[in-house]
Structure 1
């Protein structure tokens, strides 16, 4: 089948785990907001993926709503894009089971993220192993053309394309083969205290990460305390990881190219530069934080937006799921009302 519309279909899934930080904004949220300008965008809070490792049920509920609110707060427009929670659209779980029939055990065993995550957990679930199959279903259900995605998910997207091609070859043309859109330079934001490491919710210290909901005084303190070197030149270099990171942060906050930032602060010294970085980040994040807090306080409005998004997602995914069942040879439920035969005088068997 496949959607023959000329409109570009976009899909990206985001896990509701942990407080979101500036690195998440740089490599994720700002990309989502920009990508929605390119076509028909679907952004999914992938809560089913979150249960593949041990989790706290209360934290999952709160994190799901937190992430949905942050998507809207960072610029995803509910009038232009579809934002929904994965578990609200049962087609995702169904598609994952069907696609598992055309996914090789060896393919899944080669996934580097499974190897890394399984080493970090004492209990390794079957769900963690088949995680990429669920991700493939997420993407393929929507006849996706473009997937805004982190570079760490590149292998999973390649598997999605392989699984789609195998299904098409075995059962007939059904899926589009999606393309990835990966973050450009500057998307990888590093820890403020350990600039050789990526900024992380779980492994960065409180002073090493700027949270998207941090108030201005906290942002100032963190940026002004960022680790730098003993020099004065504001430029990116391998031996200046701290300053290189701050240049990238400034570029993200202002929309400039890193080279423009370097030119603007040529000879300025670190003190003024750090202060300006802090103010630029505050200027960017303050309206985001305020919008986020409003949405979390108005839970009815947030739930309404998610319900509308789930409705649109179900309507879009249903034709693909129906085609999958049909082409794989399943007998589908009759659309006739139950007992219609009895109404005409037929006797049950």
Structure 2
């Protein structure tokens, strides 16, 4: 039996290189493995926690869909859908909420970070915290458990979500008998944290991202802004912890990466590295960039593919909810 893999991307901003390296590319590579059945979804319900404008949410949803398609997702070999098209997910979230302790939610990284931020600013601990944010891990658990997912590709900073999904599944299974598989986190160690232009994790909240499909001139400009240390141009440089090297090897061939590693040891200048980085990134993204803009001009294609994905996925979700309701006595 094929192992099931599930990956979701929130439409809360224009997809950037961090999304591509850390989630999209590894997930698409997995879809080419004949031993796997892959589910890919646009997490538009999750986006409601921070996007409050209808037009913005709609546009960002199309951008995320076009990104996956432009980067090579084969919708014939995988299941590609919009989270909000599967109402059973919300039903399952509510059922799982009754099997989840508040103490577990108190330990969620996103919630704790918001509380710490409020405390540092002298605000009430829960200032600006909506229940969507607080219950986010339960909805994510529903996304994963609904389809009996075996593997969930994540970065190191998102392992907790998988651990919580396992905790919630175990709680439900103890109460009602074995129902849900316990998912495993799949971590790409070499791309666990993707650095942004300032050296911190690439994140929209830090304003340090490089959009995947930014035009050539803007791409070159953003690469030139990448922060480097004060090592002299002709001095040897360490590839470990280098934002430039981490980004370079994500787009270069193995031969090119080896040559660049040797160039770092020999004392290549950072200006030259930035030029080389622009060349390999633009080479790999120019084709998908064109396809991305083509798809956004004709959104009918995107709508058709998402509808097709819904028609494949909803029967699976419906059967699972029937099983869950039978277990808890709501048949």
What does 1:284-323 align with in structure 2 at a 5 Å threshold? 284-323=284-323
What does 1:163-242 align with in structure 2 at a 5 Å threshold? 163-192=168-197, 194-195=198-199, 197-204=200-207, 208-228=208-228, 229-232=230-233, 233=235, 235-236=237-238
Which segments of 5 or more consecutive residues in structure 2 lack a partner in the other structure?
A: 119-125
Residues 162 and 227 of structure 1, relative CA distance in 2, 3 Å threshold = closer
Flag as ranges the 4+ runs of structure 1 deviating above 6 A. none
Residues 170 and 255 of structure 1, relative CA distance in 2, 3 Å threshold = farther
Q: What is the match of residue 113 of structure 1?
A: 110
Residues 29 and 234 of structure 1, relative CA distance in 2, 3 Å threshold = farther
SS at match of 2:319: helix
* 1:64 paired to 2:37: no
SS at match of 1:202: helix
Q: What is the match of residue 334 of structure 1?
A: none
Q: What is the match of residue 260 of structure 2?
A: 261
Task: Name which of 14, 18, 22 aligns with 2:9.
Answer: 14
Q: What is the match of residue 343 of structure 1?
A: none
Residues 234 and 276 of structure 1, relative CA distance in 2, 3 Å threshold = farther
Residues 251 and 237 of structure 1, relative CA distance in 2, 3 Å threshold = closer
Residues 267 and 105 of structure 1, relative CA distance in 2, 3 Å threshold = closer
TM-align CA RMSD:
2.0
| 8 Å contact kept, 2:156–2:193 | no
Task: Name which of 151, 159, 165 aligns with 2:156.
Answer: 151
Q: What is the match of residue 122 of structure 2?
A: none
TM-score by length of 1: 0.85
Structure 2: distance between partners of 1:226 and 1:160: 36
Shift of 1:47: 0.9
Q: What is the match of residue 344 of structure 1?
A: none
Shift of 1:259: 5.3
TM-score by length of 2: 0.89
Q: Deviation string for 1:223-261 (max 9, x for gaps)?
A: 2343322423464357xx5xx111111100114385553
Structure with max Cα Rg: 1
Which segments of 5 or more consecutive residues in structure 1 lack a partner in the other structure?
A: 1-5, 332-349
